[in-house]
Structure 1
Amino acid sequence: MSSLLVRRRGKKAAKPAELPAPTDGAPGSASPWAGGPERPATPPASGGGGNDGDPPPQVVEWSNGPALVTKAWGALLALALLAGPAALAWTLLRPEPAPVAVAAGSASTAESAAASERAVELVETWLRADSNDQQLIASLTNAPVGTLPQEGLTIRDSSVAQVEQAENDVWSVTVGVDVAEPAPGSTPPPADAKGEQAEVALVWVRRYFQVPVLVQRTDTKYSGPDLAVTALALPSPVPGPAAAAEAPDLDYSETISPTSAAGQSATGFLAAMIAGDGEITRYLAPGTSISAITPAPYSAVAVTGIKGSHEVTEDPADGDGTHALITAELTRLDGNKTTAQYVLTLVARDGRWEVAGVEPAVRIDTTPSGTIDPGTAGE
């Protein structure tokens, strides 16, 4: 049987944290006679039983509880019985769910990747093939294999230079590959006294080959969507991608000395990141997270030039910054040296320059040609 505690004199019940500690009552219960503006400091005499001095709290019996519970269970049962036929009817009459469509972007990406893989495989196999590899080439294309050389070529570093969808399900893939061949303009050396041909000096030449590839999606009942890939023709040699007619100007108009405070911070950061020289975090701006390369691929770094997007000073104000294109000479672990370039974001704080990021690309000068710099208009 449920019961409810009735508040005395209509005052709001205190929160548990505000209740006074129990005195002579049961553990965890507060005495209503603890004193206060409306309560006596000592309990009145009581002739009833119970705890000494602390009368039990008033209790009102709630006789309607079981009845309400019974009514609630009855209502739930009635709803369940009514919902059963309705749910069955919905199951029988609802339309079949529409198939989930594959997003066009993901489908195109998968088909492009499949076409590229088959084109690279065919180009590599075709270049390395000799006259005994007719069946191997035929397994990769529906085109007639035709003539193959007596000796295949030596190749390396193949990659996809371009891929585009030519027609429905047909992709045109251009593959670039380094081929070892005689230097342009060279002639075969004469045979020696025994009639044997001397070896020809070979050089690596980048060549490009185009392959049309058919990629079709096939839905199987158990394995789900799949791709059927077929090269429709043998590789055809094509020109490589054309170089840009004119390289754009970069947006780094200020020259920064490598011995300046900004230059020394950039040098220390690069030395820590790629040569393991020092702790990289000492050069980073707060909130910047950049990890050093482990293990370090170089033994030393020397910055030879810095170009900035904004002018830097030896006494910068907090928040001053520049995007810096840094040219550095890197010393390999074998002692050889090579030149590399980084683009860093440098920001001033507390009178020093810190690295706030390594930028993924250089900045292009987008100022229209013929535009006069406001700072030089009066010169």
Structure 2
Amino acid sequence: MTRRSRTDRARRAGADTGVDPELEEQGGWWTSPSSGSVAVATSVVRRLAWALMIAGPVLGGWALVSQPSADAHPAPVVQSSSGDVAGPGGFAEMYVAAFLRAGEGSQNELVAFYPRAADLELGGKPDAVQVGQIAAVRVKEVASGRYWSVTVAARVLEPTPKNSADSGDGEQPLIRMRFFQVPIEADRDSGPLTALALPAEVAAPSGASSKAELAYGTPMPAQASDPAVDTLSAFFAAYLSGSGELSRYISPGARLSPVRPAPYQSATVTQVAVETAFQDSDGDGQLGAPAGRERLRLVVDVKAARTDGIARPLSYALTLAGRDGRWEVAALDPTPKVTLPGLPATPTAAPSHSPAQ
């Protein structure tokens, strides 16, 4: 078909469709016969399509966040399972924090956690009590995956009551530690959580009658002449204050990195406790140098000083390994070795001064 016949056909189609008869069909688009016009029109259409594709999600997100909500504080949807106490514990923390800050007119904030809170009579100004720190200190599973009793500790800043002996002239706010017990239920197995009642203020939880004991001997003062203390001192100086090269004091293959940025200006080993199986053959309170490839578990107390002069006492559980007549740090243990009543020591440790694997 010749160009003339195509143009004639385009003019006839244009007369029927209302399209300019000077345009011709190109790949489904009616375009000008000019190649320059074709390029311009195609470029405009392509750019418009990309603009719509990019703007679509943006406009959708704006519509989502801008649409009005009947409740300024929507209910937090927290999922949980029978093997995970973080869900009930975290939910109880948020609930108690909202409860402590609540005041007149803030019922809806509590409804998010406790549906019956809409009918409560609340007095005082909202946020009169400020919550500084809050944590679930005990989570007891009452029914597997369905029901928990959570005890929450809250460090609060509350106004001093008028005419109180603590008020003084300045009426400084009081800092108190308070404890609350909350019943939490999952709507269904592993479903959203809800509170079944208002928080109950309780006394601080008492300690358990049987306690774990560290499986280490009596702490010994660190002696600078002890080869083990020399290694530990250099290790913690590099680890906490960036003084020296850490790799010089760790065993090959140990994955340890210094704390960065270094939080302390200096770190000093003050005392060392050795696992109880260790025998001090010389009786001089020193670990001495390794005879071979021994391994030894310790709890080390460190005094770490900041640049402003403030010092912090820190404790580390770690494992030393002997190599070429000197000690190296083989690992920072996740927990100290302990003994529990009626149970073997945990974690299971290699025998003291046993050959390294």
TM-score w.r.t. length of structure 2: 0.61
1:118 equivalent in structure 2: 91
Partner Cα separation in structure 1 for residue 166 and residue 327 of structure 2: 60
User: In the alignment, what sits opposite 2:34?
Assistant: none
Do the aligned residues in 1 keep the contact of 2:269 with 2:300 (CA within 8 Å)? yes
Contact persistence 2:237–2:266 (CA under 8 A): yes
The 2-side partners of 1:217 and 1:247 are apart by 36
Point out the more displaced range, 306-315 or 290-299: 306-315
Identity of aligned residues (%): 30
Tell me which of 320, 329, 334 is aligned to 1:360. Answer: 334
More displaced, 263-272 or 356-365? 356-365
Please tell me whether the aligned partners of residues 256 and 308 of structure 1 are also in contact (alpha carbons under 8 angstroms).
no
Does 1:141 find its partner at 2:105? no
What is aligned with 1:212?
183
State the one-letter code of the partner of 2:322: A
Quick one: distance in 2 between partners of 1:114 and 1:305? 40
Runs of 5+ unmatched residues, structure 1: 1-105, 191-197, 219-225, 369-379
- Mapped to 2, the partners of 1:183 and 1:282 lie a distance apart of 56
Following superposition of structure 1 onto structure 2, how do residues 8-19 of structure 1 map, counting pairs within 5 Å?
none
Cα 1:216–1:365, aligned 2, differ >3 Å: closer, same or farther?
closer
- Given the alignment of the two structures, is residue 265 of structure 1 paired with residue 236 of structure 2, yes or no? no
- The aligned counterpart of 1:251 is 215
Unaligned runs of 5+ in 2: 1-79, 281-285, 343-357
On the 8 A contact 2:132/2:156 being kept in 1, the answer is yes
SS in 2 for 1:264: helix
Choose from 165, 168, 178 the match for 1:187.
165
Structure 2 Cα separation of the partners of residues 324 and 200 of structure 1: 49
Measure how far apart 1:344 and its partner are.
Answer: 1.7
Larger radius of gyration: 1
Partner of 1:343: 317
**For 1:51-87, what per-residue CA distance to the aligned partner results, in whole angstroms no more than 9, with x for missing partners?**
xxxxxxxxxxxxxxxxxxxxxxxxxxxxxxxxxxxxx
Q: Structure 1 CA distance, aligned partners of 2:251 and 2:196?
A: 55
Instruction: With a CA cutoff of 8 Å and minimum separation of 6, indicate the structure with the bigger relative contact order.
Output: 2
TM alignment of 1:210-359, pairs within 5 A: 210-217=181-188, 227-245=191-209, 248-253=212-217, 255=220, 257-259=222-224, 260-309=226-275, 310=278, 311=280, 313-359=287-333
8 Å CA contact 1:172, 1:213 repeated in 2: yes
Contact 1:258-1:306 at 8 Å conserved across structures:
no
CA distance, structure 1, for counterparts of residue 160 and residue 212 of structure 2 = 33
Inter-partner Cα distance in structure 2 for 1:345 and 1:115: 36
- Cα offset, 1:163, TM superposition: 1.9
After superposition, give the CA deviation of every residue in 1:295-340 in whole Å (9 maximum; x if it has no partner). Answer: 1111110111112222354343112332221111101233211111
Aligned to 1:44: none
Which TM-score applies when normalising by structure 1?
Answer: 0.58
> In 2 relative to 1, CA 338–315 (structure 1 residues): closer, same or farther, beyond 3 Å?
closer
Aligned 8 A contact 1:177 1:208 in 2: yes
Contact 2:221 2:270 in 1 (8 A): no
**Residues 137 and 344 of structure 1, relative CA distance in 2, 3 Å threshold:** same
User: 1:302, 1:328 within 8 Å by CA — same for their partners in 2?
Assistant: yes
Q: How does 1:30-45 map to 2 (within 5 A)?
A: none
CA-based RMSD: 2.9
In 1, Cα distance between equivalents of 2:245 and 2:96: 47
- Flag the 1:247–1:170 CA change in 2: closer, same or farther, 3 A: closer
Which amino acid in 2 is paired with 1:172? S
- Work out which of the residue numbers 162, 167, 171 in structure 1 matches 2:138: 162
What is the DSSP-based 3-state SS (H/G/I as helix, E as strand, rest coil) of the residue aligned with 1:253? Answer: coil
Distance 1:306 1:124 in 2: 41
Deviations along 1:173-223, one digit per CA (max 9) or x if unpaired, are: 222111224799x62547xxxxxxx443344322211121221248xxxxx
